[in-house]
Structure 1
Amino acid sequence: MTLPAEAQAALDSFEHCASWEQRARLLMQWGQRLPELAEADKTEANRVHGCESQVWLVGELKDGHWQFAASSDARLIRGLVALLLARVNGLSSKAMHHVDLPDWFNQLGLSRQLSPSRSNGLNAVLQRMRELSA
């Protein structure tokens, strides 16, 4: 399966990281680049349940391809969510159901940094994306 261009760009940038400190810094940069959600979108209906941090998610289908936007109150989670968005934005509903979250973060070299609660939270975000795209 071909990766979306932004996902390939993420992989390319993370594979040049020699240390966890470099990966962490890059992760924060991805989070900072995440466009801020409008306050109007930060509603209970858009909040992802199952995350320890606050995460809001909105999605829109454009020409058969999904575009998601998200925000979080936690810097590390913003970075992880930004990388998840890079992986899924532009996919069809069908392709969305084939995204392997652990494999994606493993490819980025971030899987060992995902605590069970962060992993559960990201799975909740992906699950919500799948619900929206169903």
Structure 2
Amino acid sequence: MATPAFEEIAETFEFLPDWEERYREVIALGRAMEPMPEALKVPATKVSGCASQVWIHPEIAGGRFGFTGDSDASIVRGLIAILHALYAGLPVQEVPEVDAGKELARLGLDSHLSSQRSNGVRAMIQRIRESAREAA
């Protein structure tokens, strides 16, 4: 159920020889992401449960889910970019059905993130799912 954008990331990761290369790719994805307007970095968009500062602002248009996100940590910003690729453009009602853990495992992220980062990713996924449920 992954989007074409996520499939492209998954294919890229298949060809990267080791985790160090994948780590660099995650950071590059974060750098390529559109910056989040400072005006959206407010308590209502801040995701609790993350070691870094993380903001996610849902954007629903035409029944499709999207979001703007940002973090003060490069690797987390890259993880936000990956989650954006996983969810952006999906019909709102399909967002909660995505098995994010399974999809992210395809990238090898599950075994290479610290427990704090893994908890942060789960918190971001929970926020995304809640936003989609509220919009549906």
TM-score normalised by the chain length of structure 2: 0.92
Counterpart CA distance in 2 for 1:23 and 1:116 is 18
Residue 37 (structure 2) aligns with = 38
Shift of 1:77: 0.7
Residue 51 (structure 2) aligns with = 52
CA-based RMSD? 1.1
Counterpart CA distance in 2 for 1:102 and 1:119 is 10
Deviations 1:24-80 (A, max 9, x none): 111110110111100100111110111111000111111111011100000111111
Counterpart CA distance in 2 for 1:83 and 1:5 is 12
Shift of 1:103: 1.2
TM-score normalised by the chain length of structure 1: 0.93
Shift of 1:112: 0.9
Taking the TM superposition and a 5 Å limit, the aligned residue runs for 1:53-132 are 53-132=52-131
Counterpart CA distance in 2 for 1:14 and 1:123 is 21
Secondary structure at 1:56 match in 2: strand
Contact 2:19/2:112 (<8 A) preserved: no
Contact 1:93/1:130 (<8 A) preserved: no
Counterpart CA distance in 1 for 2:87 and 2:39 is 23
Counterpart CA distance in 1 for 2:9 and 2:77 is 15
Secondary structure at 2:98 match in 1: coil
Counterpart CA distance in 2 for 1:70 and 1:58 is 6
| Counterpart check, 1:25 vs 2:38 | no
Contact 1:7/1:86 (<8 A) preserved: yes
Structure 1, gaps ≥5 residues long: none
Structure 2, gaps ≥5 residues long: none
Residue 6 (structure 1) aligns with = 5
Q: How many residues align?
A: 133
Q: Identify the range of structure 1 (50-59 vs 112-121) with the bigger mean alpha-carbon deviation.
A: 112-121
Structure 1 runs of 4+ aligned residues shifted over 6 Å read: none
Shift of 1:93: 2.4
